[in-house]
C-alpha cells in the first residue's frame, strides 16, 4: 500500500476535540505520525500539498435506504456504497425496508456477502445493516430479534411508524437483553392523514395537504413515557419540529436514555422551499417551518439532537415525475450533504467545523454504540479528505448514485470530498 504524506492539512478531530494544521503520514492503512512538520520520510512516500484541505475522521451515516434488493433500478448496493465513499462516509447503515425486508438472518448474511465479495470492497465504506422490528416491516408481528442480533445487525428499526404501542412496549422489554440500539420514527399516521407538507401559512399558500406538528410530537411523547416506565435506551429518528426538540430536551434533562437525530435537509431547507413544487422536496417527515429549522440547528449545536443522518432515498426519474403529493417521499444525499452543510452552516459561521464533524462522525457512531478512532499515531486510517473550495455541478455524470432526485440537480456547489480511507 502507498505511503502518503499530507502536508499542512487542516486536521479536524472530533474525538480529541482539536482543529489544527499539521502534517499527517499514512502508511499501510495506519496513521504513522501527526506533527507540525514531518521531514523523516522514505523515498517512495507520496507527498501531497494539502493546504486549504480538511482531514477529518470518517463520516458515519445512521440510516439510509438501499434500493437492492428489490429496487435495483433505483440503487444497487454497490452504487450506494460508492456514493457514500464519494461523500466522505466510511460507515453507512441501511434500513430494512427493502424487498424482501431485512427481517431474517439469511438476508442479513446475503447482504454481508455481497458487500464482502465486491472486488472494490477495500475502498468502500463499512456496511451496517438495521434489522426489522416486525415481519415485512408491516408493524404487526415481531421478528426473531435474537436471531437477527446473532446474524450481526447493528440494531433494530422498521424505519416506519409503529402504531401499536403494546407491541412497542413488548419490544422495549425484550430488546434490553440483546444490548443493541433500537430506533423509532415517531409519527401518528392518523394525525398525518394525507398530509405532505408541514402545517402553517406556507402550506395554505401552496395549497398542499398539511401535516400537523402533533403527528410527530404525540408519538414522541408516547415513546418517552414508555422509556420512562421501562428504561430501555432508544434512538428517535427524523426529528423535524421545534416542539419535538423541547420534548427531547426535557426527557434528557430527566436522565432518560434517549438519543436523537434529524436529517441534513431539515437543517438546510424549510417550507418556503416547497414553492417550487420540486418533488425531491417531498420528504417524510416534511420540511419544517423556519422556526423548526432554526430550533433543529440550535439543538444539533447544543447536543439535544445528537446526530445528523442522511436518510438517502434514491428514486427513478419516472417515479418522481408526478404531482408533488403523489410522488414517493425522499431524496438522495450521500454525495451532497457534507458540501452543502459546510457551505451553509460552517462557512457562514453558524457552526464550527468541529461541531459539524462531530454531528456527522463521532455522535452518529455513539448512537450505534460504536467508537471512532482519533487522528493520532498508531490509529487506523478511517479518514475523509475534503476540499471546501472545490466547485462542481450536480448532474448525472458527476454522481455515483444511480438516481438524481435532489433539488440541487443542475446547480453548482462549493466543496467536495477528495478521498476517503475506509
Check 163, 311, 366, 395 and give the catalytic one.
Answer: 311
Q: How far apart are CA 420 and CA 7, in angstroms?
A: 16
Q: Which of 349, 415, 359, 369 is nearest to 388 (CA)?
A: 415
First to last CA, the chain: 13
Q: Cα Rg for the chain, rounded, in angstroms? A: 21
Q: Which of 366, 371, 373 is nearest to 259 (CA)?
A: 366
Q: Taking a C-beta distance cutoff of 8 angstroms, is the pair 18, 374 a contact?
A: no
Q: Taking a C-beta distance cutoff of 8 angstroms, is the pair 99, 129 a contact?
A: no
Using the CB atoms, write b or e for 300-336: b if 16+ within 10 Å.
Answer: bbebbbbbbbbbbbbbbeebbeeebeebebbbbbbbb
Residue 215 has phi, psi (to 5 degrees) of -60, -30
**What torsion do the CA atoms of 342, 405, 129, 365 make, to the nearest 10 degrees?**
10
Instruction: Look up 61 and say whether it is catalytic.
Output: no
Residues in contact with 305: Cβ distance below 8 Å, sequence separation at least 6, in sequence order: 239, 245, 248, 260, 261, 262, 296, 299
Going by DSSP bridges, is the β-strand pair 46-49/4-13 parallel, antiparallel, or unpaired?
Answer: parallel
What are the C-alpha distances in Å from 356 to residues 141, 157, 201, 215, 415? Answer: 39, 25, 31, 29, 14
Which position has the grid cell 394525525?
191
Q: Taking a C-beta distance cutoff of 8 angstroms, is the pair 342, 388 a contact?
A: yes
Catalytic residues: 311
Amino acid at each position: 500500500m502507498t505511503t502518503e504524506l499530507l502536508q499542512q492539512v487542516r486536521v479536524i478531530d472530533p474525538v480529541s476535540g482539536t482543529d489544527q494544521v499539521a502534517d499527517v503520514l499514512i502508511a499501510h492503512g495506519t496513521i504513522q505520525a501527526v506533527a507540525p512538520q514531518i521531514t523523516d520520510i522514505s523515498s517512495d512516500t507520496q507527498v501531497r500539498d494539502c493546504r486549504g484541505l480538511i482531514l477529518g475522521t470518517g463520516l458515519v451515516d445512521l440510516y439510509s435506504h438501499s434500493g437492492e434488493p428489490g429496487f435495483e433500478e433505483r440503487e444497487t448496493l454497490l452504487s450506494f456504497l460508492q456514493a457514500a465513499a464519494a461523500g466522505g462516509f466510511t460507515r453507512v447503515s441501511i434500513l430494512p425496508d427493502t424487498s424482501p425486508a431485512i427481517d431474517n438472518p439469511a438476508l442479513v448474511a446475503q447482504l454481508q456477502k455481497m458487500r464482502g465479495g465486491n472486488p472494490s470492497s477495500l475502498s468502500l465504506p463499512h456496511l451496517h445493516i438495521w434489522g426489522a422490528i416486525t415481519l415485512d416491516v408491516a408493524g404487526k408481528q415481531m421478528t426473531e430479534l435474537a436471531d437477527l442480533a446473532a446474524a450481526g445487525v447493528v440494531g433494530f428499526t422498521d424505519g416506519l411508524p409503529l402504531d401499536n404501542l403494546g407491541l412497542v412496549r413488548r419490544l422495549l422489554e425484550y430488546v434490553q437483553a440483546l444490548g443493541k440500539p433500537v430506533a423509532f420514527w415517531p409519527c401518528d399516521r392518523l394525525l398525518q392523514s394525507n398530509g405532505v407538507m408541514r402545517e402553517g401559512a406556507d402550506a395554505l399558500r401552496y395549497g398542499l395537504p398539511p401535516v400537523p406538528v402533533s403527528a410527530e410530537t404525540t408519538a414522541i411523547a408516547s415513546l418517552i413515557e414508555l422509556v420512562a416506565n421501562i428504561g430501555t435506551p432508544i434512538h428517535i429518528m427524523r426529528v423535524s419540529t421545534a416542539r419535538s426538540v423541547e420534548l427531547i430536551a426535557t426527557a434528557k434533562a430527566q436522565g432518560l436514555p434517549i438519543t436523537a437525530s434529524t436529517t441534513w435537509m431539515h437543517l438546510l431547507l424549510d417550507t418556503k422551499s416547497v414553492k417550487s413544487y420540486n418533488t425531491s422536496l417531498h420528504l417524510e417527515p416534511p420540511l419544517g417551518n423556519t422556526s423548526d429549522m432554526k430550533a433543529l440547528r440550535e439543538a444539533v449545536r447544543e447536543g439535544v439532537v445528537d446526530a445528523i443522518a442522511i436518510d438517502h432515498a434514491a428514486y427513478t426519474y419516472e417515479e418522481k415525475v408526478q404531482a408533488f403529493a403523489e410522488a414517493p417521499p425522499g431524496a438522495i444525499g450521500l454525495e451532497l450533504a457534507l458540501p452543502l452543510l459546510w457551505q451553509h452552516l460552517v462557512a457562514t459561521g453558524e457552526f464550527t467545523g468541529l461541531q459539524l464533524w462531530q454531528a456527522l462522525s463521532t455522535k452518529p457512531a455513539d448512537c450505534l454504540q460504536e467508537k471512532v478512532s482519533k487522528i493520532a499515531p498508531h490509529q487506523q486510517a478511517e479518514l475523509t479528505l475534503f476540499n471546501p473550495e472545490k466547485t462542481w455541478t450536480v448532474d448525472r455524470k458527476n454522481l455515483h448514485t444511480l438516481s438524481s432526485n435532489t433539488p440541487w440537480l443542475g446547480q453548482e456547489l462549493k466543496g467536495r470530498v477528495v478521498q476517503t480511507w475506509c
